């Protein structure tokens, strides 16, 4: 499977760090692999960490010409006591219903932080449109302000339904349409989108931690997309949800996003027919039919 340059660069960085800790690993790369995973077992790496390090090391060692060591990586699997630890994305809440949104919005409204207004707006339009946070960079409206054009993220390996998708905003209220227009303008006038994104993520994370100090999972900027997905599943078919989300397959939202039961009533965009047509339907595998006795004899 093809990998993006960013993924390969990340795998290279991770692998070099792991191997460098083993000293002169090139003298015996197979032994170095053994030491790495022995250390992982003693430090009780989580299952996701095992998977990441195995994938990174196999790719890097194969690319570097150490095929024997790359094959050896396959022999190391997570021990039985390995467990999923909530880190990174797993700490993010996969829904953001009205109750939590109201609490978070009220806390942000009372904040004196420079980026608090942007955080409030970003959460709202995220629930309205389902855009990934980074997809706002370069997003634009047509002259009437009723069609939002979005450059799809995650286009590698055929994961998106094209380079762009289009969201018709006709069913939304004037206030909701205006909020989306404000978001497009905010990003367009920002001197540094990455800085804006980072500051907004940070203030939401800090505010959510104050609002729910005992939770293991808290709302994040990406939680808005999950909530949008749950809302969309209530009124649209899988194919339409995929077109609006920018997915190539109509099954993706059902596997990786919030459940339909988390959905709430909302005014949602509509996709263009061309975006719906670009979504792949799941392959239909015919049921297995055992061969007849005559076919078996002829085989």
Please report, for residues 2, 65, 260, the alpha-carbon distance to residue 254 in angstroms, rounded to integers and kept in the order given. Answer: 24, 40, 9
Token pair for 262: 């988390």
Measured distance CA(71)–CA(218) in Å, rounded: 39
Q: What is the pLDDT of residue 298?
A: 44
DSSP per-residue codes, 88-137: GGGGB-S---HHHHHHHHHHHHT---TTHHHHHHHHHHHHHH---GGGGT
Q: What is the pLDDT of residue 89?
A: 54
Q: What is the pLDDT of residue 157?
A: 54
Q: What is the pLDDT of residue 4?
A: 74
Q: What is the pLDDT of residue 49?
A: 84
- Mean pLDDT for each consecutive 10-residue tract of the chain (299 residues)? 74 90 91 90 80 92 93 84 53 87 97 97 97 94 95 71 90 96 97 94 96 92 94 93 87 68 91 88 51 46
Q: What is the pLDDT of residue 78?
A: 79
Q: Is the pTM of this model over 0.75?
A: no
Q: What is the pLDDT of residue 296?
A: 39
Q: What is the pLDDT of residue 158?
A: 60
Q: What is the pLDDT of residue 156?
A: 59
User: Across the chain, which distance is largest between two alpha carbons, in Å?
Assistant: 81
């Amino acid at each position: 499977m093809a990998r993006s340059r960013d993924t390969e660069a990340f795998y290279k960085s991770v692998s070099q760090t792991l191997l460098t800790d083993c000293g002169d690993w090139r003298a015996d790369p197979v032994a170095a692999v053994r030491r790495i995973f022995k250390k992982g077992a003693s430090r009780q790496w989580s299952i996701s960490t095992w998977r990441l390090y195995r994938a990174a090391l196999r790719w890097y060692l194969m690319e570097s010409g150490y095929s024997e060591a790359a094959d050896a990586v396959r022999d190391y699997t997570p021990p039985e006591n390995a467990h999923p630890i909530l880190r990174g994305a797993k700490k993010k809440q996969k829904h953001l219903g009205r109750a939590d949104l109201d609490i978070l919005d009220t806390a942000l409204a009372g904040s004196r932080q420079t980026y608090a207004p942007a955080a409030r707006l970003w959460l709202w339009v995220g629930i309205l449109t389902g855009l990934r946070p980074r997809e706002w960079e370069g997003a634009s409206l047509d002259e009437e302000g009723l069609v939002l054009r979005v450059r799809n993220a995650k286009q590698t390996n055929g994961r998106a339904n094209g380079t762009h998708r289009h969201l018709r905003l006709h069913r939304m209220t004037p206030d909701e349409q205006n909020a989306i227009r404000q978001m497009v303008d905010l990003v367009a006038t920002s001197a540094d989108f990455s800085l804006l994104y980072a500051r907004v993520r940070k203030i939401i994370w800090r505010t959510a931690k104050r609002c729910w100090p005992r939770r293991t999972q808290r709302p994040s900027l990406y939680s808005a997309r999950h909530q949008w997905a749950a809302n969309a599943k209530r009124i649209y078919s899988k194919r339409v949800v995929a077109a609006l989300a920018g997915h190539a397959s109509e099954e993706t939202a059902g596997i990786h996003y919030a459940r339909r039961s988390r959905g709430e009533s909302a005014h949602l965009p509509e996709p263009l027919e061309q975006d719906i047509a670009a979504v792949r339907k799941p392959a239909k595998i015919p049921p297995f039919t055992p061969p007849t006795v005559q076919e078996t004899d002829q085989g």
